Amino acid sequence: AQSVTQLGSHVSVSEGALVLLRCNYSSSVPPYLFWYVQYPNQGLQLLLKYTTGATLVKGINGFEAEFKKSETSFHLTKPSAHMSDAAEYFCAVSPTGGNEKLTFGTGTRLTIIP
C-alpha cells in the first residue's frame, strides 16, 4: 500500500524567505509523486510531478522538489516566498505509475507573513 506523510499541517514563512514543505512517502513500487496546490474555494492545481529521470523537478510559480529515494522524501521548496503563495499544498503518490487512485497527504497550509 502507498502512503504519504506531510510533516507540519501549518507552516508560516516571511515574505521573501525560503519555503520548505516536507513530504515523505511509502510505496511498494517505484513511486510517481506529485505536488498540488489548492487556493480557497477552488480545486487543486498541479505544481510539479516526478515520474522517472531527473530527481530535481521544477514546477510552476518558482517551485521545485527533489526526489530522494534513500530518504523516501519529495520535499517542495521555493527560494523566495510571495504573498500569492499562501494556500494549501498536497503531496500525492500514485500506486500504479499513472493517474489512477492517487493517495494524498493531509495537506500543509502555508501562510506568508508580510
Partner 1 sequence: KAGVTQTPRYLIKTRGQQVTLSCSPISGHRSVSWYQQTPGQGLQFLFEYFSETQRNKGNFPGRFSGRQFSNSRSEMNVSTLELGDSALYLCASSLAGTYGYTFGSGTRLTVV
Q: Residue numbers of the site for partner 1 (CB under 8 A)? A: 32, 34, 36, 41-46, 49, 51, 90, 92, 94, 98-107
Give the contacts of 9 (CB within 8 A, at least 6 positions apart).
106, 107, 108, 109
CB of 7 to partner 1, least distance (A): 15
CA distance 110 to 46: 16
At its nearest, how many Å lie between partner 1 and the CB of residue 53? 12
> Minimal distance in Å, beta carbon 97 to partner 1?
8
Cβ closest to partner 1, residue 25 vs residue 34: 34
- CA distance between the termini of the chain: 41
